[in-house]
Amino acid sequence: MTWFDLLGFGPKGWGLALLQGALMTLLVSMAGLIVGAVFGSLVAWSKLSGNRPAAAVGSAYAAVFRGVPELLVIYFVYFGSSALLTGLANLIGIEGFVGVPAFAAGALAVGVISGAYQGEVFRGAYLAIQRGELEAARAVGMPTWLMFRRIIAPQVLRFAIPGLGNLWQVALKDSSLISVTGLAELMRVSQVGAGSTHQPFVFYIGGLALYLVLTSLSTRVFDVAEARATRGLRRPAS
Amino acid sequence: MDLAFLSMTFLRLLAALPLTLEVWALSVAIGAVIAMGLTWMRVSGSKILSAISRGYVFVFRGSPLLIQLFLIYYGLSTFAALRASFLWPFLRDAFNCAVLSLALCTAAYSSEIFRGALAGVPHGQVEAAKACGMSGFKLFRRIIFPIALRQALPAYSTEVISMTKATALVSLVTLWDVMSVALKIRNDTAVTYAPLLVAGAIYFVLNFLIARAFIAVEYYLSAHLRRRVV
């Protein structure tokens, strides 16, 4: 079998399986980024709130998940959540082991890691909002929630795009570690293909190339998004 | 979960720490050397060298370290010619492959950091040095390098810390580092949380110490920028 047969779409080709793996990588990374956005906004809020205990919790969370290997976090979330779920299930009378789906555990793990970094991105984005706009919103009598929805959220998203773009790349690459839980994402499919055909080089090169496609395409997407989001902004002459 | 179990776990993980540290130190050191080469190629002014350096950075930053590691450890052995060559005794060993792939990967990230630091050297300083008659290596050694080093430190410390985290991947190529010993204890004893928590604490303390060391070096190198105490 030539390289072309192995990676192609013929009857013995792994092309489709690899593409499906790439799709799964995209999905689990997106889910991770969204979970991370939830954790990240909580961290940003805790640091901006002026509430000392909240800020301490936020900082501790960020420090821990930045200081511990991603692989360890994935194992911990995967094994830990399954053990927790099994315990809960036994409590309500369901016997035996209850596993958390690999997708959910993976997205949660990538999410808590990403959230530790997204906190800083959101905090920086919030601080980049012109103070005058917040004062103006208060002056016209906007309640806090309306001000958040109309003034703060759109601008935080705008200023956060470059930082989120970087973290998206990190999430994409971290998602490869979810392969240890058996989720059929790109890394795992490459591994299975390498094992069953005894052609590891072909499959790891193919998988690597697909990762490069994913990362370079998403760089484009974020560039376009940034250009669109900032089209109304005046910029210093360049 | 009792104290005896925790201390046994801690001691066994500590015994695996030297391997983690060895992989980390070697790959950071080798990676830094490769990174300097890449940075030099990028700023050399040669279009070909610069394109090679860009391509290298694109490939190694755009794909996960895990697939790079597997490509080197499992992939290269496919080639009969390589297995017959003098490189085989080196590449057969999981430890060497781990260090090699970690070093190649961190080199790509570090070279971008070094390039940014070089670009941040104020032009006036270089001009002043040239006006004093410095050029070539002396200009680099006395002016450019010290300034660039100081500017690279904050970002480089992040990269070095991410390397301690990356060493956990070597557990997937049969090496007994802290991560894989923690998994082994977890498997053998069926205790879910404790082994991973203790391992996490070890990594966390290690990274904390590295971060402190970088802050200390940065403080030492920026003595002239601090406000003078009169």
Q: At what angle do helices B194-221 and A70-91 cross, to 10 degrees?
A: 150
| Residue ranges of domains in chain A, CATH in brackets | 16-229 (1.10.3720.10)
A79 — contact with chain B (CB < 8 Å)?
yes
CA–CA–CA angle A150, A156, A161 (5° rounding)? 130
In a domain, B118, yes or no: yes
In a domain, B142, yes or no: yes
CATH number at residue B141: 1.10.3720.10
In a domain, B229, yes or no: no
pLDDT (mean) for B81-90: 85
A43: part of which helix (H) or strand (E)?
helix A15-48
Task: Confirm if A148 and A117 have CB atoms less than 8 A apart.
Answer: no
| Main-chain phi, psi angles of B220, to 5 degrees | -65, -40
> In the predicted model, what is the mean pLDDT of chain B?
92
pTM of the model: 0.91
Q: With contacts defined as CB-CB under 8 Å, which chain A residues touch B71? A: 200-201, 204-205, 208
Q: Which pLDDT tens digit goes with each residue over B102-141? A: 999 999 999 999 999 999 999 999 999 999 998 888 999 9
Q: With contacts defined as CB-CB under 8 Å, which chain B residues touch A75? A: 183, 196
In a domain, B9, yes or no: yes
A103 — contact with chain B (CB < 8 Å)?
no
Read off the amino acid at residue A107.
A
Structure tokens at A20: 């499906």
What DSSP designation does B227 have?
A: P
Q: With contacts defined as CB-CB under 8 Å, which chain A residues touch B166? A: 69
In this model, does residue B1 exceed pLDDT 70?
Answer: no
3-state secondary structure of A26: helix
Q: Which pLDDT tens digit goes with each residue over B20-67? A: 999 999 999 999 999 999 999 999 989 999 999 999 999 999 999 999
Q: What is the ipTM of this complex?
A: 0.91
Q: Do A173 and B71 touch (CB under 8 A)?
A: no
In a domain, B121, yes or no: yes
Distance CA A111, CA A31 (A): 8
Range of the domain at B143: 3-223
In a domain, B103, yes or no: yes
pLDDT tens, per residue, chain A with 238 residues = 677 777 877 777 888 899 999 999 999 999 999 999 999 999 999 999 889 999 999 999 999 999 999 999 999 999 988 888 888 888 887 777 777 889 999 999 999 999 999 999 999 999 999 999 999 999 999 999 999 999 999 999 999 999 999 999 999 999 999 999 999 999 999 999 999 988 899 999 999 999 999 999 999 999 999 999 888 877 665 4
What is the total count of domains within chain B?
A: 1
